Structure 1
Amino acid sequence: MEKKIKVLFVCVHNSARSQMAEAFLNHLAGDRFEAHSAGLEPGTLNPLAVEAMAEAGIDISANRTKSVFDFFKRGAIFNYVVTVCDGANAERCPIFPGITHRMHWSFEDPAALAGTHAEKLEAVRRIRDQIRDAVASFVTEQGAP
């Protein structure tokens, strides 16, 4: 059996963007990839992200937030570490040992959205779709069907 490509998605709180990216990669190509997510300062799962992902047919409601530094301290090895926050926060991500490719995909922070519930949910749907498209492109670039 071919070894899975291990990917870690990192954002600030591991509450929305990295959770969505992890879920999409495992959903779209879990046979070829093993996705995880973590945050620089783990917070709580964003209910809008949970709602938007449920609309896409993926349940992340039972996920918990995790610290990127816990993965680092355990000596976890990843083929790819993908930061999905802004550039300044991406620079705070630790350098993992081994041959790790670092990538940066910048997405708007759902925690920073303002407006009514409906307005924020609409924005999170847009971010969710951008993340899904980025993950799908990544899968294609890696040669996965």
Structure 2
Amino acid sequence: MKKKILFLCGHNAGRSQMAQAYFNKYNTNENFVGLSAGTNIADQVNSACIEAMKEEGVDMNDSSNFFPKVIDEDENYYRIYSMGCNVKSELAIYDDLGIDDPAGQEGENIKIIRNQVKENIIAIIDDLNQNATN
């Protein structure tokens, strides 16, 4: 059974969706899978984030995979990373990534946020591969 790495934010519409997409794109360790969720979900994924990810060759238009979803607090997550929005959960958050909210942002600001997400995800994958019990 794969160990679930959860990327948690308030709306599950931007940062956490990008984190899920990057994690599953770059992770080569079959023991892990990236998921995303929110605590107060939006109606849809941020279209500016979808467009920014498209530039990276990541298609987040698959609404069966990329859609706002509420955190399942009964789920057994291996690690939970919050995205920087001070979300509260009954589950233990492993680390907060401190990434700005893309809501209401556009253009270069979205790309900066996207790149911050990517850098964090690559570091998380490296850490999991070096330090986690597989």
Q: TM-score, normalised by structure 2?
A: 0.85
1:85 and 2:84 are equivalent in the alignment: yes
1:124 and 2:110 are equivalent in the alignment: yes
1:139 and 2:125 are equivalent in the alignment: yes
Paired residue for 2:25?
Answer: 27
Paired residue for 2:38?
Answer: 39
Find the residue that maps to 2:7 and give its secondary structure: strand
Match of 2:7 among 6, 9, 13: 9
Q: Which amino acid aligns with 1:19?
A: Q
Deviation at 1:101, TM superposition (A): 5.9
Identical residues among aligned pairs (%): 27
Contact 1:79 1:101 in 2 (8 A): no
Find the residue that maps to 1:110 and give its secondary structure: coil
Paired residue for 1:48?
Answer: 48
Structure possessing the higher radius of gyration over alpha carbons: 1
Paired residue for 1:117?
Answer: none
2: CA distance, partners of 1:32 / 1:139: 12
Deviation at 1:142, TM superposition (A): 1.6
Paired residue for 2:69?
Answer: 66
Deviation at 1:85, TM superposition (A): 2.4
Q: How many residues align?
A: 125
Long gaps (5+) in structure 1: 114-119
List per-residue Cα deviations over 1:88-129 (Å, max 9, x = no partner). x23x1221xxxx66211111111143xxxxxx1211111111
2: CA distance, partners of 1:123 / 1:132: 14
Closer/same/farther in 2, CA of residues 11 and 101 from structure 1, 3 Å limit: closer
2: CA distance, partners of 1:64 / 1:138: 23
Q: TM-score, normalised by structure 1?
A: 0.79
1: CA distance, partners of 2:40 / 2:93: 22
1: CA distance, partners of 2:104 / 2:109: 11
1:109 and 2:105 are equivalent in the alignment: no
Q: Which stretches of structure 1, 4 residues or longer, exceed 6 Å deviation after superposition?
A: none
Deviation at 1:50, TM superposition (A): 0.3
